């Protein structure tokens, strides 16, 4: 029998402590034995790629990865999401492949812009959230203020599971509210080294706070948490080892195992025998000499066995997956078997795309993996006109990876790219140069936003496209797209053409 799975992501604003927490979860989960290894490994890996110099310069991570560890008989799959303020669809899509998330908040800063944005994506998918208020070893905001802010800004019930006894200079430990045990700091480093105490004497002020909190906040309710209506809140310090063990226990005890996934013709239950999964991310090989890609597939049902043939729904022939990759924290291991909730990397030469469903029989299709409306549009200007073909290949490749979107206008030869964050523009130029040897620049486009259009009556669609040819383009897959000068224009044409549907996202 296979062990239960917990597939989750950590969401946070940059600097809240995601990397530190990841490292400690892997450490406490027994996957690594030296703190610092996560970053060190990351840097080795990054050094291999030219375009990832951006990451090094900015000290950020543009790509996501997958880390697997086992603890207490449970297999944890941690999907990393870039924490930078600018992110691509990659981040959103990674969140479509998890069953739950940990939200890390800096105790001195509370809910920040990025936390909120990522939280909204989780809510869209009903992904339940465990909250971790980090850095209580430093002076932070009052505990009640933090809890109320989470409740107000995210419209969630909060249920404190642990309580900080002092913060910063007065920090004396973390009290577990259900067991009444306190974890104490020890030694000069003031770290947690296993020292606990039952029914401790607390300063009066803290005892009062706790009494108030227990009367004032919702008691933990596992079902409300799993429905995404309530978040259990843990306090701690990833740096000083307070919290990681609590979080592993919380994931084990409360976080949902793999759930049925939305699909057509019917949702797919993890118990189903047939192997199914969907690709939520495609990553070009770090080695610019090779054009191999790795498609990251989340397994949704069945037992995957190495060598198995899987068919991408809607296009392509069955592909035999001879060398799938599992992502263990220490190194990548070749997978022989994988189970629902697991992520496998499938090497391929560009046949697999983000949003693809893979299955043994090819009669299902997972839904709800949206293409997001690009928020920034730019015209690509080629500096060497003999490189048109290479440019097209590069833009198609990157669109396929879900890094950028590409639009080919009906009129004129200026291709347009769309991204969700500014940083993707730099990544694009840098990769064009390093991987495809194409020198290009970006210019403002005369458009501000894009909408995928459709209509029940083909005549209506044709009428619309004929009358608006100057604003029409095709996406990578040949779907018609209307490029608008402003959100206002979208509203305007929508009113004038009620039979045409304008979609800000395109589901695949
Ligand atoms: P990320 O950007 O969210 O991945 O954040 P990092 O894990 O890189 O942490 C950002 C900074 O906060 C680093 O300097 C960490 O050492 C520091 N940090 C992380 N966790 C804690 C904590 O619990 N206490 C304190 N005092 N600092 C922390």
56-60, 331-335, 415-419, 426-430: which has the minimum mean pLDDT? 56-60
Among 253, 353, 346, residue whose Cα is nearest residue 312: 353
Checking if the pLDDT of 45 tops 50, the result is no
pLDDT per position as a tens digit, 103-132: 999 999 999 988 888 898 888 788 999 999
Give the largest Cα separation in the chain, rounded.
78
- For the beta sheet containing 357-359, the strands, ordered from the edge strand earlier in sequence to the opposite edge, are 319-320, 309-312, 357-359, 276-284, 293-301, 343-348, 325-327, 332-334
CA atoms within 13 A on the CB side of 27: 19
First to last CA, the chain: 34
* DSSP for residue 110: B
462: confidence class by pLDDT, cuts 50, 70, 90: very high
Report whether 110 belongs to an annotated binding site: no
Most confident segment among 29-33, 172-176, 280-284: 172-176
Checking if the pLDDT of 49 tops 70, the result is no
Cα of 190 vs centre of ligand 1, distance in Å, is: 16
pLDDT at 83: 55
Pocket probe for ligand 1: among 10, 11, 17, 136, the residue whose CB has the most ligand atoms within 8 Å is 17
Report whether 12 belongs to an annotated binding site: yes
The C-alpha atoms of residue 415 and residue 389 are separated, in whole angstroms, by 12
Q: Which atom of ligand 1 is nearest to the CA of 12?
A: 3
61-75, 154-168, 186-200, 433-447: which has the minimum mean pLDDT? 61-75
Q: Which atom of ligand 1 is nearest to the CA of 39?
A: 8
The C-alpha atoms of residue 342 and residue 66 are separated, in whole angstroms, by 10
pLDDT at 37: 38
Q: In terms of pLDDT, which residue wins out, 431 or 362?
A: 431
DSSP string, 237-296: BTTTTBSHHHHHHHHHHTS--S--B-EESSPBPTT-SS-EEEEEEEEE-S-TT---EEEE
Pocket of ligand 1 (CB under 6 A): 12, 14-20, 83, 134-135, 137-138, 237-240
Cα of 17 vs centre of ligand 1, distance in Å, is: 4
Checking if the pLDDT of 63 tops 60, the result is no
Q: Rounded mean pLDDT of 59-81?
A: 73
Q: Residue 327 in contact with residue 344, Cβ under 8 Å? A: no
Number of CB atoms found within 10 A of residue 40's CB: 10
Q: Rounded to 5 degrees, what are φ and ψ at 85? A: -65, -30
Q: Residue 393 in contact with residue 380, Cβ under 8 Å? A: no
68: confidence class by pLDDT, cuts 50, 70, 90: confident
Q: In terms of pLDDT, which residue wins out, 326 or 7?
A: 7
Checking if the pLDDT of 293 tops 50, the result is yes
Checking if the pLDDT of 401 tops 70, the result is yes
The C-alpha atoms of residue 332 and residue 310 are separated, in whole angstroms, by 22
Checking if the pLDDT of 38 tops 50, the result is no
Q: Residue 20 in contact with residue 106, Cβ under 8 Å? A: no
Cα of 16 vs centre of ligand 1, distance in Å, is: 6
Q: In terms of pLDDT, which residue wins out, 125 or 391?
A: 391
Residue nearest to atom 9 of ligand 1 (CA): 17
Among 466, 468, 467, 427, residue whose Cα is nearest residue 447: 468
Q: Which atom of ligand 1 is nearest to the CA of 242?
A: 23
36-45, 140-149, 238-247, 407-416: which has the minimum mean pLDDT? 36-45
Among 24, 15, 126, 6, residue whose Cα is nearest residue 68: 6
46: confidence class by pLDDT, cuts 50, 70, 90: very low
Checking if the pLDDT of 316 tops 80, the result is no
Residue nearest to atom 18 of ligand 1 (CA): 17
Among 9, 1, 4, residue whose Cα is nearest residue 296: 9
The C-alpha atoms of residue 390 and residue 432 are separated, in whole angstroms, by 9
Number of CB atoms found within 10 A of residue 332's CB: 13
Say which residue the tokens 């259990």 belong to.
Answer: 232
> To the nearest whole number, what is the mean pLDDT of the chain?
85
Cα of 275 vs centre of ligand 1, distance in Å, is: 40
Q: Rounded mean pLDDT of 177-184?
A: 97
496: confidence class by pLDDT, cuts 50, 70, 90: very high
Please compute Rg for the chain using Cα positions: 24
Pocket probe for ligand 1: among 15, 23, 138, the residue whose CB has the most ligand atoms within 8 Å is 15
Structure tokens at 310: 């899987």
Task: Determine if residue 302 is left, alpha or beta; phi over 0 gives left, psi from -120 to 50 gives alpha, anything else beta.
Answer: left
Checking if the pLDDT of 51 tops 70, the result is no
Burial of 182 (0-12, 13-18, 19+ CB in 10 A): buried
129-138, 152-161, 431-440: which has the minimum mean pLDDT? 431-440
Cα of 368 vs centre of ligand 1, distance in Å, is: 34
Checking if the pLDDT of 459 tops 90, the result is yes
Checking if the pLDDT of 137 tops 80, the result is yes
Report whether 368 belongs to an annotated binding site: no
Say which residue the tokens 């403002």 belong to.
Answer: 444
pLDDT at 31: 58
The C-alpha atoms of residue 42 and residue 38 are separated, in whole angstroms, by 6
**CA 304 to chain centroid:** 23
pLDDT at 223: 97
pLDDT per position as a tens digit, 181-230: 999 999 999 999 999 999 899 999 999 999 999 999 999 999 999 999 99
Q: Residue 277 in contact with residue 300, Cβ under 8 Å? A: yes
Q: In terms of pLDDT, which residue wins out, 340 or 287?
A: 340
pLDDT at 92: 77
Q: Rounded mean pLDDT of 58-75?
A: 66
Checking if the pLDDT of 255 tops 60, the result is yes
Report whether 33 belongs to an annotated binding site: no
Report whether 134 belongs to an annotated binding site: yes
Report whether 81 belongs to an annotated binding site: yes
pLDDT at 335: 65
Checking if the pLDDT of 56 tops 60, the result is no
Task: Please tell me whether residue 419 adopts helix, strand or coil conformation.
Answer: strand
Report whether 240 belongs to an annotated binding site: no
Q: Which atom of ligand 1 is nearest to the CA of 21?
A: 7
């Amino acid at each position: 029998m296979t062990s239960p799975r917990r597939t989750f992501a950590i969401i946070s604003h940059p600097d809240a402590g995601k990397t530190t927490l990841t490292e400690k979860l892997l450490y406490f989960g027994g996957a690594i034995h030296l703190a610092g290894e996560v970053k060190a490994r990351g840097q080795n890996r990054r050094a291999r790629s030219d375009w990832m110099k951006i990451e090094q310069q900015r000290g950020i991570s543009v790509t996501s990865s997958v880390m697997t560890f086992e603890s207490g008989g449970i297999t944890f799959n941690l999907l990393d999401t870039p924490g930078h303020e600018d992110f691509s669809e990659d981040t959103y899509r990674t969140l479509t492949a998890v069953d739950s998330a940990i939200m890390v908040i800096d105790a001195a800063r509370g809910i920040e812009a990025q936390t909120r944005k990522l939280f909204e994506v989780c809510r869209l998918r009903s992904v339940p959230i465990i909250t971790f208020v980090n850095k209580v070893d430093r002076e932070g905001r009052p505990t009640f203020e933090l809890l109320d802010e989470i409740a107000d800004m995210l419209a969630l019930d909060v249920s404190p599971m642990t309580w900080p006894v002092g913060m910063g200079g007065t920090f004396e430990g973390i009290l577990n509210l259900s067991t009444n045990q306190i974890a104490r700091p020890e030694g000069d480093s003031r770290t947690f080294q296993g020292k606990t105490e039952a029914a401790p004497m607390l300063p009066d002020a803290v005892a009062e706070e706790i009494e108030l909190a227990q009367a004032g906040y919702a008691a933990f309710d596992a079902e409300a948490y799993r429905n995404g209506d309530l978040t259990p809140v843990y306090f701690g310090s990833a740096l000083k080892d307070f919290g990681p063990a609590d979080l592993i226990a919380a994931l084990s005890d409360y976080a949902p195992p793999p759930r049925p996934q939305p699909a057509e013709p019917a949702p797919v239950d993890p118990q189903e025998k047939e192997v199914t999964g969907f690709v939520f991310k495609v990553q070009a090989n770090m080695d610019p000499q090779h054009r191999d890609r790795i498609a990251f597939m989340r397994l949704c049902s069945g037992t995957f066995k190495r060598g198995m043939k899987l068919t991408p729904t809607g296009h392509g022939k069955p592909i035999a997956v001879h060398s799938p990759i599992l992502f263990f924290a220490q190194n990548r291991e070749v997978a022989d078997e994988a189970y629902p909730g697991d992520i496998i990397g499938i090497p391929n030469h560009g046949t697999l795309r983000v949003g693809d469903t893979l299955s043994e029989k090819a009669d299902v299709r997972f839904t709800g993996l949206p293409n997001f409306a690009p928020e920034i549009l730019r015209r690509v200007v080629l500096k060497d006109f003999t490189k048109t073909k290479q440019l097209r290949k590069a833009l198609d490749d990157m669109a396929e990876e879900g890094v950028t979107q590409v639009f080919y206008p009906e009129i004129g030869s200026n291709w347009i790219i769309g991204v969700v964050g500014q940083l993707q523009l730099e990544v694009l130029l840098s990769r064009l140069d390093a991987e495809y040897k194409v020198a290009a620049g970006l210019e403002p486009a005369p458009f501000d936003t894009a909408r995928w259009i459709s209509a029940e009556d083909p005549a209506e669609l044709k009428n619309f496209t004929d009358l608006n040819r100057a604003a029409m383009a095709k996406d990578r897959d040949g779907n018609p797209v209307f490029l608008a000068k402003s959100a206002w224009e979208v509203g305007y044409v929508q009113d004038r053409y009620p039979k045409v549907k304008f979609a800000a996202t395109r589901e695949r």
